[in-house]
A and B are shown apart, each in its own frame.
Chain A
């Protein structure tokens, strides 16, 4: 990265417009993406990801998902993550939105979008942000099924996904 962008110092991240928020009301990806695109009309492309509560049928179906967080750490941690991504890729903008509270099946949980001059930077930054949100962000989830409430434990895959980003060489 550093060899490809010799004139792009890390301080350039300060120029990236990051928008990081916790939402306790429904997240509306289409409206948020439209606003984000409007704010970054000069970008060559925008890559985005929406995570949502799985809507399933049957006895194990999730009826409700509750997302709790710890205010002194959760949003500051997401802001730091956005700054790390903005320092690593040449971006025009980065959007990280995450729900808290009670969600129903099919409801969006998280929206990540990266606007960049070149698509690969946008894809990579959004992918990086999601992998780190999944493994590091201070959220605890529990879900309610017909059998009652159950806490969701960490998945080993989430940590393996994050590890992909430390193996790759950084200039």
Chain B
């Protein structure tokens, strides 16, 4: 992709998702105005499938949102599996 046409996004994997992703965080590049869904297409299929589970909630820039959410440069996207209980 041409310089200036991409955004950088930080992915954060909570709970057991970090084992699947191999790290708690990952920086990725994506085309401008990508959705979370489009970004998942770049990831390993097994990881993307786990992140698309209906049980996984996502937060973009600290607010719960959906997979159709459009991303901006510098956004943080967190993937939140079911909580274990406090």
A residues whose Cβ falls under 8 Å from a Cβ of B: 51, 68, 70, 72-73, 98, 109-110, 130, 133-142, 151-155, 158
Contacts and interface: CB of A to CB of B under 8 A. Distances in A.
B26 interface: no
B9 interface: no
Main secondary structure of the interface of B (DSSP, over half): loop
Contacts of A151: 15-16, 19, 84
Main secondary structure of the interface of A (DSSP, over half): mixed
> Which range holds the interface residue count of chain B?
10 to 19
A8 B78 CA distance: 39
Given A138-B80, A140-B81, A68 B86 contact: no
B85 interface: yes
B62 interface: yes
Interface of B: 12, 14-16, 19, 59, 62-64, 76, 78, 80-86
Contacts of B12: 70
B26 to A, nearest CB: 15
Which of A130, A139, A155 has the most CB atoms of chain B within a 10 A radius of its CB? A139
A142 B83 CA distance: 11
B15 A135 contact: no
B83 A139 contact: yes
A138 B64 CA distance: 12
A73 B62 contact: yes
